[in-house]
Amino acid sequence: MATIKPFRGLRPPKDLVEQVESRPYDVLESEEARAEAGDNEKSLYHIIKPEINFPEGTSEYDPRVYEEAARQFQKFQDKGWLVQDKDEHYYIYAQTMFQSPNGGTAEGFPRTQYGLVIGAYVEDYMNGVIKKHELTRRDKEEDRMKHVRVNNANMEPVFFAYPDNAVLDALIMRYAATEPEYDFIAPIDGFGHKFWVVNDAADIATITEEFRKMPSLYIADGHHRSAAAALVGAEKAKQNPNHRGDEEYNYFMAVAFQASQLTILDYNRVLKDLNGLTSEQFLEALHQNFTVEQIDNGQCSLDNAQSFAPKHLHEFALYLDGHWFALNAKPGTYNESDPIGVLDVDISSRLILEDILQLGDLRSSKRIDFVGGLRGLAELKRRVDSGEMRAALALYPVTMQQIMDIADSGKIMPPKATWFEPKLRSGLVVHKLS
């Protein structure tokens, strides 16, 4: 069963939150962070992307960069830009997507998802109560571990999902009907962000108890941050001769959302070449495992690109030579009883990227790039039409239930399979490890 606890969050004063908050460290490059921070010395980028405080070209892995993160973190506290709550709390964090991710209005929008900001238990990560669905790379883990160590804090939360819970939903809705602590629309993503402090002892006890009934929590996004936070916590426990088990380093910060509320977008592929094949040869090779149909009727533009997106599982959209094609996987090319084999990301990887294009390891291949669904199919068309890429492949989004089934089975998803939106904003709350 899942163990969680409230914590004394370190947070910006209400009137400074929009100057402090930022995008997560791993969704933008150093120069983007430098531009977004501009002359705002209160931007959290000075802590989570501290290379921006050095000359352009400075490696984010330079030892001085980690030291600068710690110096900036102390500065933020000394100047009162981050202030620690006197008591332990849970927090509620709501994100609102006002329109369909690919633009325009659609049924179900605006859509709001409500997360509980919690202290997740390190031991739950180690023993599999907190379940993962992606592999992690040791170099990325070590980078985040250094950042946690030098700051002695979780600067940014991990993104969890939990099975829907009526008691927690009612509690959250009660707080959502009150005045939030923070309420702003982020200028970069255009999403609404609200934040409440759970300060009632009975409500805090209810949250703790309801999570204790859950057999599992699921990492939705932030596998490297989860691994780093848990490994540093375990490291601190081992180093402490008087370790009791209730120290703050035994927990790391996460925002946990009800699974049914989460929005997962497609994660699409753009291809640099066709492995020496002509377009005709490539299409002919596809016929072995897919039905192939041109669907644009010669009417293809950036404005209507999204209309060619896959409409259901096992359908793919291929953009090639200025035309859109629908590819439907033939029966027998996937295994409905295999939680991995039934995934469209697995079908396309096996039958197209590996068998036909021979791309090798998708994590390291230079012949492929990945485009999050928030950019839409117009971005795929643009990159192919520019000559940068030879073709593009759009996938139907993975579902949260598929992710949970895979995590429950102990299996790992293929790389670049999920794109969650909205992303969590950083800087609303920080968790200190002591």
pLDDT at 300 over 90: no
Return the pLDDT at 103: 54
pLDDT at 105 over 60: no
Angle at the Cα of 424 (from 420 to 425), degrees rounded to 5? 145
Mean pLDDT of 374-379: 86
Q: Is the dihedral of CA 174, 177, 182, 185 positive or negative?
A: positive
Mean pLDDT of 9-19: 98
Mean pLDDT of 400-409: 90
Per-residue tokens: 382:
């643009």
What's the length of the chain? Answer: 434
| pLDDT tens digits along 31-44 | 999 999 999 999 99
The reported pTM is: 0.87
Query: Burial, 275: exposed, middle or buried (Cβ in 10 Å; 0-12, 13-18, 19+)?
Result: middle
Give 354 or 107, the one with higher predicted confidence.
Answer: 354
pLDDT at 419 over 90: no
d(CA 82, CA 372): 32
Query: Burial, 128: exposed, middle or buried (Cβ in 10 Å; 0-12, 13-18, 19+)?
Result: exposed
Mean pLDDT of 330-351: 92
d(CA 314, CA 4): 38
Q: Is the dihedral of CA 193, 194, 195, 200 positive or negative?
A: negative
Considering the chain, what percentage of its residues have pLDDT values greater than 90? Answer: 76
Q: Which of 381, 388, 396, 395 is nearest to 320 (CA)?
A: 381
Q: Which residues contact 15 (CB under 8 A, 6 or more apart)?
A: none
pLDDT at 199 over 60: yes
* Widest CA span in the chain: 72
pLDDT at 178 over 60: yes
Please tell me what DSSP assigns to residue 262.
-
pLDDT at 242 over 70: yes
pLDDT band for position 26 (50/70/90)? confident
If phi > 0 it is left, if psi is from -120 to 50 it is alpha, else beta; for residue 57 that is left
Q: Which of 206, 212, 225, 221 is nearest to 257 (CA)?
A: 221
As a whole number of Å, the end-to-end CA separation of the chain is 25
d(CA 316, CA 290): 9
Angle at the Cα of 195 (from 78 to 181), degrees rounded to 5? 65
Rounded to the nearest integer, the mean pLDDT of the chain is: 93
Return the pLDDT at 82: 98
d(CA 119, CA 15): 26
Angle at the Cα of 159 (from 366 to 411), degrees rounded to 5? 60
Give 410 or 85, the one with higher predicted confidence.
Answer: 85
| pLDDT tens digits along 112-167 | 999 999 999 999 999 999 999 887 778 888 999 999 999 999 999 999 999 999 99
Contact between 59 and 80 (Cβ < 8 Å): no
pLDDT band for position 361 (50/70/90)? confident
pLDDT band for position 104 (50/70/90)? very low
In the sheet with 315-320, reading across from the earlier edge strand, the strands are 290-294, 323-329, 315-320, 391-394, 267-271, 368-372
Return the pLDDT at 339: 87
Return the pLDDT at 192: 96
What the chain holds in terms of domains, given with CATH numbers, is 4-263 (no CATH), 267-396 (3.30.1760)
